[in-house]
Amino acid sequence: MTAYTATVTVRLKRGVLDPEAETTQRALERLGFELEDLRSADRFEVDLDAESATAAEERADDMAERLLANPTIHDYEVEVTER
């Protein structure tokens, strides 16, 4: 078994309104920053032991499918690194 960290990034699908990001953008602009756009995402760092990087990725995929992301509004990606 090898120790991995699976990083799961969950973000809103393109076109789905993100009111928190819009509020954050307005706050940055109020502070005098210049920016074009801002998107937010949730990042989960999952430490796990698995037989291979592929097995670790599959397990993290399953976590995203079953809990971390909502397929109606979210896309997600998984990145696995050795820890």
Partner 1 sequence: MTVAVIQFGGSNCDRDSVRALAHLGIDAERVWYEDGLPADATGVMLPGGFSYGDYLRAGVMAARTPILEDVRAAASEGVPVLGVCNGAQIGCEAGLTPGAFTINESARFQCERVHVRVENADTPWTRAYDEGDVLDLPIAHGEGRFEASDETYDRLVDEERILLRYCDADGVVTDDANPNGSRGNVAGVLGDRETVAVMMPHPERATLPDLDGTDGAGLLRGFEAALAEV
Q: Confirm if 26 and 35 have CB atoms less than 8 A apart.
A: no
Closest CA to 27 of 38, 17, 14: 38
Residue of 52, 70, 79, 83 that binds partner 1 (CB under 8 A)? 70
**31 vs 72, beta carbon nearer partner 1:** 72
User: x/- binding map, residues 18-47, to partner 1, per CB under 8 A?
Assistant: xxx-xx------------------------
Is residue 63 at the binding interface for partner 1, with CB under 8 A as the rule? no
> CB of 18: closest distance to partner 1 in angstroms?
8
Structure tokens of 64?
A: 């995203």
Query: Rounded to the nearest whole angstrom, what is the least distance from the CB of residue 53 to partner 1 in the complex?
Result: 26
Q: 6 with 46: CB under 8 angstroms?
A: yes
Strands (E) located in 16-63: 41-50
